[in-house]
Structure 1
Amino acid sequence: MPPTDPTPRVELTPAAADLLRKLRDAHGPLMFHQSGGCCDGSAPMCYPEGEFKTGDSDVLLASLAVEGVEEPVTFWMSRSQYEVWNHTRLIVDVVPGRGSGFSLEAPEGVRFLTRSRLVGT
């Protein structure tokens, strides 16, 4: 279970928020899932909300408010990945380059990337 401290566990850069608005217009409500598995472990995958099935092996870290988007964008992480990253603040950014073909931003020529900072820094 994520800690209940006032530090936001996940935040978005302005570039990530801009891309989420564009993707929301094209695909409807959105979600992120970061597994740390076979695909790029530092790249959260963006899906239409509910398309990626979460379960007991996942932790909901945040419901991200994006200006101009009606509903929050949920951010899930596999429990095993969370055990490694539980002392960090995650910052979702956008970088040039093609990421995983599973993530909605792949055709845009950019990919989401998670950066991290230790909580309290």
Structure 2
Amino acid sequence: MKERSMNVRKMLVVFIPVAAMSVPAFADQVLHAANTEQGYVNYPEHAKAGRSRAEVIAEMEAAKKDGTWEFIRRGAPLPVKGGVPLTRAQVEAELLQAQKHPSWSARRVGAPVGW
């Protein structure tokens, strides 16, 4: 029993300082936990200043001009710029190589890929 209490004390000696150091990290959050029905209290004065409206609009206009806006608004990944495009044969070769890997069946989801 004495050994168990020593282990608990050791854990507390480590846990309490770590917990105490992490509490100030939550002070700059807008929402703070509260023992209420809502579960939080809103402190808008704790919000950090972000980009201005003009900066956001300028960034959006630039994305529309270079074509990335169509990808961003659909949530699609942005295409790699300056890369060399692969041919269909190269992509198929990469797929066949990946299918030979032992973990292929564990990683894939859905119907098998093949021609």
Q: Shorter-chain TM-score category?
A: under 0.3
| Structure with more helix by fraction | 2
| Structure with more strand by fraction | 1
TM-score with structure 1 length normalisation? 0.17
Tell which has more relative contact order, 1 or 2 (C-alpha 8 A, sep 6+).
1
Structure with higher Rg: it is 2
TM-score with structure 2 length normalisation? 0.17
